[in-house]
Amino acid sequence: MALPDAARPDPARPETVSTDLATRLELVRTGVADAARVAGRDPAGITTIVVTKFHPVSMIEDLYALGVRNVGENRHQEAQSKAAVLADLDLVWHFVGQVQGKKARQVRAYADVIHSVDRESLVTALGSEESSIDCFIQVNLTDDAARGGVDPLNLPALVERVLATPGLNLLGLMAVAPLGEEPRRAFARVRELGEQMRTQAPAARALSMGMSQDYGSAVLEGATHLRIGTAITGNRPVLS
């Protein structure tokens, strides 16, 4: 007996892939809403950015169909080409990786938000008299300077520099919880740094923190922007 049409698998479009994607997205949406409720916060104040690095353009299209509008990438060339292919979609592109000074102008051209401003030379390279771009200052919570992010001791000077540079709209702070520290403690440090920063930059109220493993803790400490990859996308393809 033939299967009814609806039950017939379409070999051109393996349903399992996008069904899994939809299921994982829904689980994270529920997780964010639950964490917001525990924190006594309105989930509408939390933007979930789906980090799609290493995944194909087709996955971003699938995410778009599921209602996702904020996507994150961390490698310039990959982000640039995906943004070009998907230019017709009203996506908000978040650049979350380290930015090379000599690529700064190019990143600025397709990114809507840059999460990783971490040094004065990059601020200079990103400045513009013509247009404005939203940005976060990334703080480094580790002792390893190679990790990206400004040392918290140098944060006030960098904030001054961003505020004095035309074309940069400072939204707040971004951080990655270090391995070996309880994430909630790390995020509490970021929240406190954000409070100090607001004496200089009262409008910079946003906190970009929380990833697949620790977004619940981040919501409890006031995260406004979650950067979530694998919990939604599944494991990243291994590059050969």
Ligand X SMILES: *Cc1c(COP(=O)(O)O)cnc(C)c1O
Residues that bind ligand X (CB under 6 A): 51, 53, 74, 96-97, 176, 211-212, 227-231
Alpha carbon distance, N-terminus to C-terminus of the chain: 44
Sequence-separated (6 or more) residues with CB below 8 Å from residue 185:
none
Sequence-separated (6 or more) residues with CB below 8 Å from residue 115:
72, 94, 95, 96, 135, 136, 138, 174, 208, 225, 227
Nearer to ligand X, 1 or 176 (CB): 176
Cα separation, 230 vs 81, in Å, equals 21
Nearer to ligand X, 158 or 231 (CB): 231
With CB atoms as reference, the residue minimizing the distance to ligand X is 229
Give the pair of three-digit tokens for residue 164. Answer: 């004095």
Q: At its nearest, how many Å lie between ligand X and the CB of residue 14?
A: 22
Q: At its nearest, how many Å lie between ligand X and the CB of residue 33?
A: 18
Nearer to ligand X, 97 or 216 (CB): 97
Q: At its nearest, how many Å lie between ligand X and the CB of residue 18?
A: 19
Q: At its nearest, how many Å lie between ligand X and the CB of residue 28?
A: 10
Nearer to ligand X, 98 or 128 (CB): 98
Q: Quickly count: other Cβ atoms within 10 Å of residue 73's Cβ.
A: 27
